[in-house]
């Protein structure tokens, strides 16, 4: 218990922290602000104001997907620094190993999961061959994909991707 005196009141900071944690947990679980307020016996505007005070970012959920990428680690670091929501980058060796170590059913299931995750994003930056870019646009919608062609199909070796180009694109997409 961490007590603090405010005028003639004594307030328990720990209790406040627990209540804020509970509010955020309930909101994150999918309850509306009003449902959280009703459940906890508080005013809806308190829930709204807490979210506003703590808001770090609002806007589009962006993904960065691509293969075969030579500077995968550098692009992953850039994506983390820029707040990209979903990153899946592979070198050619990683791509081949990812496919080789799975049965056909496992591979299909994992691809379906990746597609479902990508469909939850507002926009995907896709690094790949001309053919794969067209395929991703068909799966997700061309208005939700920015394709950066790193070679013609089939690409059999890792390709360097200019990180500054990706950074500028990400910042542009966030500003929309």
Domains of the chain with bracketed CATH: 3-54 (1.10.10), 62-175 (3.40.50)
Q: Cis bond leading into 34, ω under 30°?
A: no
CB 123 within 8 A of CB 63: yes
Q: Which residues of the chain have pLDDT under 70?
A: 55-58
Distance CA 64, CA 51 (A): 27
Distance CA 53, CA 55 (A): 6
Tokens read off for 112:
């379906």
pLDDT of residue 98: 95
Residues 6 or more apart whose Cβ sits within 8 Å of residue 176 = 60
- Residue 92, Cα to own-chain centre: how many angstroms? 24
DSSP assignment of the chain, as one string? --EEEETTEEEEHHHHHHHHHHHHHHHHTT--HHHHHHHHT--HHHHHHHHHHH----S--EEEEESSBTTHHHHHHHHHHHT-SEEEE--HHHHHHHHHTS-HHHHHHHHHHHHHHHHTSSEEEEEEEHHHHHHHHHHH-GGGEEEEEEESSSP-S-B---HHHHHHHHHHHHH-
pLDDT of residue 176: 81
Tokens read off for 16:
């406040």
Predicted model pTM: 0.69
């Amino acid at each position: 218990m961490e007590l603090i005196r405010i005028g003639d009141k004594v307030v328990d900071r720990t209790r406040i922290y627990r209540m804020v944690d509970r509010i955020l947990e309930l909101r994150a679980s999918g309850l509306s602000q009003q449902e959280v307020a009703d459940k906890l016996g508080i005013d809806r505007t308190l829930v709204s104001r807490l979210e506003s005070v703590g808001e770090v970012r609002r806007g589009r959920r962006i993904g960065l997907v691509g293969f075969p990428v030579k500077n995968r680690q550098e692009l992953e670091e850039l994506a983390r620094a820029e707040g990209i929501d979903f990153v899946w980058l592979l070198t050619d060796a990683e791509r081949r190993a990812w496919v080789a170590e799975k049965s056909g059913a496992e591979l299909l299931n994992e691809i379906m999961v990746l597609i479902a995750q990508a469909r939850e994003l507002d926009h995907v930056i896709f690094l790949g061959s001309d053919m794969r870019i067209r395929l991703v646009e068909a799966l997700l919608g061309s208005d939700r994909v920015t394709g950066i062609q790193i070679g013609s199909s089939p690409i059999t070796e890792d390709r360097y991707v200019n990180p500054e180009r990706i950074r500028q694109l990400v910042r542009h997409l966030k500003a929309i």
